[in-house]
Amino acid sequence: MLRNTRTRVRLALLALVAVASFAVPSSAMAAVSDGSVAHNQYSSWISYLYAFGGSASASSPAVYDDQGDSDRTNDVVTFGFTSTDTDYTIANPFAGSGTVAFEGDLFYDNASHYIDVDISDPQVEIPSTGSSAAKLTAVVSYDPLEVPGPQVANPTTPTRIDLYDLDLSGTFTPGASVHSWADVPAELTADGAFAFSGGGHGGYSAGQPFGTLDITAEN
């Protein structure tokens, strides 16, 4: 009888320890309150736009920086952080998961080639700090090429799509309150490539390397 009681007490204590180890205080598991994303532009795309009289620009809180160099090979666009839709949580210095959300608009225009691609409010989805299956979604619209012509300006309704596949392996710097990723390779998804080819008419296809991202998420 005594033995049974002891066993029950032991089991009850074990159960308590198990529950306690999962019950992390909610303040320690809150979503991050700040973050940044900088997209180092794919220079071949920017060169193409400018070679034929086009431009790349942004509207606040996104900022477009041509770095003041005439060959435009180092252009960077940064977006503003928003807590709306951000649920990335730093679990410990080495682990975290969730979405970091941003605001702002990026415009790629070239009237002579009927290029009108707008990218807004990107969100970086991070399954784990070293995931090779992270992605960036954004609200995208583009002007499909009419084939055959004549061309008309009929941009698509802005729609959130998976824009870039991101491979975070080897890019992560851990931290108790800041997680950061540097030089993350971005590749166009199939939907992204569709927008960057005027609706599937040449240009890029899925898997096209499309610059790199620097990302931070901060408590």
Q: Which is nearer to ligand HEM, 78 or 110 (CB)?
A: 110
Stretches 10-18, 87-95, 110-118, 123-131: which one binds ligand HEM (CB under 6 A)? 110-118
Distance CA 2, CA 11 (A): 14
**Cβ neighbours around 149 below 10 Å, total:** 8
- CB contact at 8 A, 54 and 109: yes
Q: Could you say which of 114, 130, 185, 219 contacts ligand HEM (CB under 6 A)?
A: 114
- Could you tell me the two tokens for 184? 């993350």
Q: Could you say which of 36, 40, 44, 73 contacts ligand HEM (CB under 6 A)?
A: 44
Amino acid at 153: A
Q: Does 210 bind ligand HEM (CB under 6 A)?
A: no
Distance CA 137, CA 93 (A): 25
For residue 204, give the 3-state DSSP assignment: coil
CB of 128 to ligand HEM, least distance (A): 32
- CB contact at 8 A, 77 and 106: yes
CB of 208 to ligand HEM, least distance (A): 8
CB of 79 to ligand HEM, least distance (A): 21
Stretches 3-11, 69-77, 109-117, 175-183: which one binds ligand HEM (CB under 6 A)? 109-117
Q: Does 48 bind ligand HEM (CB under 6 A)?
A: yes
